[in-house]
Every structure is written in C-alpha cells, then in structure tokens.
Amino acid sequence: MLPVVALVGRPNVGKSTLFNRLTNSRDALVADYPGLTRDRKYGQARYGEHDFILVDTGGIEGDEKGIDAAMARQSLLAMEEADVVMLLVDARDGLTAADQAIARHIRQLGKPVFLVANKVDGIDGDSACAEFWGLSLGEVWQIAAAHGRGVTQLLDNALIPVVAELAQVEDEASEALSDILGQELVDVDAIEDEEEAEAIPYADLPVKIAIVGRPNVGKSTLTNRILGEERVVVFDMPGTTRDSVYIPMERDGKNYIIIDTAGVRRRGRIDDTVEKFSVVKTLQAIEDANVVLLTMDAREGLSDQDLNLLGHVLNAGRALVLVVNKWDGLSVEDREEIKRELDRRLGFIDFARLHFISALHGSGVGNLFESISEAFASATQRVSTSKLTRILQMAQDDHQPPLVSGRRVKLKYAHAGGYNPPRIIIHGNQVEKLPQSYKRYLMNYYRKSLQVIGTPIHVEFQEGD
C-alpha cells in the first residue's frame, strides 16, 4: 500500500509545477502508448527506493461558491484520504487569508503536514518567508518548483522520512493480512534477481485481483457475481487510513484475493453511494494487485476516466484484463458499434484480453479467470539469461541497431530484472543513444518471442557489462 501525499494550496501557487516535477519520472510507460494522456491530478512519484501517490487537489480559495465549492469539497476529501499533507504557499504573494483558512483546516486533520513556500527564485527567501511561520505549521521549506531548487532538501529532510515510516506501518499491516489468511502474500514485484525468483512457488501464490473502474460500471455487481452465494470472510486492512477490503476466494483449486474497491462486502456499513468511489483507493488497489480487471460500461462508451485508469494500470506495470460490462440487452448493431470504438481507441493495448460480460446475468464472468491466470503467468514467467540474450541476438540479426555518429550501438546481453511486470535489462554500448523506436521494437520482439499476454513489459538499458 503506497502512502498518499496531498498537495494543497490556493490556485497558482505552483502545485501542478511541483506535481509534474515529482511524478514525471514514473510516466515512461504512458509515453510508450500514444493513445494515453497523463492524469494531471493523481500521480505516482518515486524518489530513490520510495514510492508514494501524489494528489494535486486543485485550488482552494476559502470562499468558494457553486462549482468551485464542489471542487473545494473534492480537495477536502483528498486531504482526508491522504497520509501526509503538503501545503504550498506563494513566497511572492506573501501570507493571505486563504492560506490561513487552509492551514486552520489542516491543523484539525492531525496529520503530518509540511509547509512549503514556492517561488523563492530571484527573491530573498528568508525575509519573504518569515511571515509564514505565523501559520504554526513548523518549518517553512523554501523551494522553486519551476527550477527544482530546494526540492531535494524538502524530499530528503521532510517528506521521504515520513513516507518511509508510513510504508513500514503498511508493510506490517500486510504481514497481518498474511497471518489472517494463513497464507504468505509475496510482493512479487519486489523480487529483482533470478535466484530469489527461483525460490518462489508462483503457481501456489494467491493471485491478487483488483476490480477497478469508474462509478457505476458494475464493480459491485461483478464482485458479488464472482463471489457467488459463498459466505466470504472480509478483511479490513488494519493500520491504513483507507478502507481497503481484501476477500480471499478459491476457484478450481486455485487461490485468489479480490481487492474490493467498491466496498460491496463491507460489514455493517452503508456506503454513501456518492462518495464510495475513490481514486486514491483505486490507485492503491492497482498498486497492490497482481492483476487488474479494468471494468468499463458498454453503454457509456470509453471515457477519459477509463483511459486515465488504464494509464495508472500501465504505469504501475500491472497485468491487465479489460472487461466491458453490461453486454446484455444490446442490439447486434450496438455491439458492433461498441467493438469498433474500442478497437479504434484501445487498439494500442493489443496485449490485453478483452471480455464482454454481463455481471448482472453472469454471462462471460467465468471466462475471466482463464485470462487472469494467463496474465499472471505471463507477468511472473521466469526466463533464463541465455534465452533472453538469444532473443536479443535474433532481434539484432533481424533488424540492426542504428549507427550513432558512425558507430553501431552494440547490445550484448540481457537478463531478467524483476516480475509483475517482467523487467528485461539489456547491457550494451552507447545504449543511451538508442532511439525510442528501436527500444519499442525490442519490447515487441520480446513480447512475441516469449508470448507475453496480459502484461506490460519493462525493457531497461544499462551501459557496459
């Protein structure tokens, strides 16, 4: 479970600038798929070994009406879901009444908070920031998000130590879950080397499945359909601020754990249907899953939110099964039209299986499990260094790497660097000069040669031996 950091503050203080700076490095995969756009509000950040979810809450002025008030409410909700809050203020504007209103609210939350004064470039930071001490939020961290100044200090000395501590608490919660399930839950994506991978009995691991999608696509209906009439044990993950629900189940002798983002089987709680959908909860479920069932609504067509969620799944590197729900009661013409649209707009995700189902009537639901198992098997398949190197050689024989200033880029060997998603690390000379098109060619070559279905692949390059 990734810690969640909310960025709050008035409009124009530099929240999106800081958001972009902190999340850009994790966007490699989205960049590989031209059909996707970034989610400008929710991103994953990685700093050293530390990952966290960053939420840009949009602006709060403190005196919103109408639509602005609704947006401010979203910001407040995001703060409530967050583990850590970063309040951004503008060092050039000085302290404003809105800053004070937001700070008052934050103090009531009782969460770790960092006060960050932005835009200290070209001004005397210390004197500009003196008045922010009046907000009683402790140290004022001076940065210039646009130029990166002060950002490393902010991360090293403030944010990351807290994020690391939270990650530890969540790890302990994960262990508690393993105990209760009586089954070890292995963080498959944390395994890096082949020897370590050898020791893991992948076939016996319970596959964690996240059922995600925007509101009303039928997640609860699908979850109930999959679980059937069985009495299920619902496990509320302790020690976390979000209400993640983990439901172990068995099917054809294999174990699965459904990560329920819709909260359908939550004990003794009536969900507020308006607020039950939470992007943060969805992102955490994606991160913690092995396989994601991205559920869409046949009647609504593909929305930006569907594509944003897809981007998050790919960025997290999770195995993926695409589900188009509510396939019942549609005319033949409608079905053809929907298939054409999906083909046109999702054609770039040609590696994932696409299922047309009716969660309400149950048709097609059973077949999902074949694709789930197939995707998990692909995501965790172990391939020897010699085989990966042989494929690399064949790929170069079929299509040579380009010349760079008269010298040919030389790719020497490849080995596995991780699982779920499969990571392939290629060593060679001048690898940083390799064009994106050739990298994509290699990725596709590996995908075909290894028959990888249902998961993105990461191909990384290292200079030298």
Which residues contact ligand GDP (rule: CB under 6 A)? Answer: 9, 11-17, 59, 118-119, 121, 144-147, 213, 215-221, 262, 325-326, 328-329, 358-360
Task: State the DSSP string of 332-356.
Answer: HHHHHHHHHHHHHHHTT-TTSEEEE
Radius of gyration of the chain (CA): 24
Task: Pick out the residues of the known binding site for GTP.
Answer: 9-16, 56-60, 118-121, 213-220, 260-264, 325-328
Cα–Cα dist 176/351, whole Å: 35
Task: Pick out the residues of the known binding site.
Answer: 9-16, 56-60, 118-121, 213-220, 260-264, 325-328
Q: Which residue lies nearer to ligand GDP by CB, 12 or 386?
A: 12
Please state the closest distance from residue 224 (CB atom) to ligand GDP, in A.
8
Tokens of 121: 């470039």
Coil, strand or helix at 68:
helix
Q: Which residue lies nearer to ligand GDP by CB, 85 or 217?
A: 217
Please state the closest distance from residue 254 (CB atom) to ligand GDP, in A.
25
Cα–Cα dist 385/379, whole Å: 17
Contact 5, 41 (CB under 8 A): no
Q: Which residue lies nearer to ligand GDP by CB, 87 or 135?
A: 87
b/e burial code for range 263-280 (CB count within 10 A of at least 16 → b): bbbeeeeeeeeeebbbbb
CB atoms within 10 A of CB 72: 20
Element (H, E) at 51: strand 50-56
Contact 424, 390 (CB under 8 A): no
Q: Which residue lies nearer to ligand GDP by CB, 97 or 180?
A: 97
Q: Which residue lies nearer to ligand GDP by CB, 62 or 215?
A: 215
Tokens of 338: 């929907």
Please state the closest distance from residue 59 (CB atom) to ligand GDP, in A.
6
Please state the closest distance from residue 222 (CB atom) to ligand GDP, in A.
7
Q: Which residue lies nearer to ligand GDP by CB, 25 or 400?
A: 25
Tokens of 462: 């290292």
148, 76, 26, 382 alpha-carbon torsion, rounded to 10°: 150
Please state the closest distance from residue 214 (CB atom) to ligand GDP, in A.
7
Please state the closest distance from residue 359 (CB atom) to ligand GDP, in A.
4
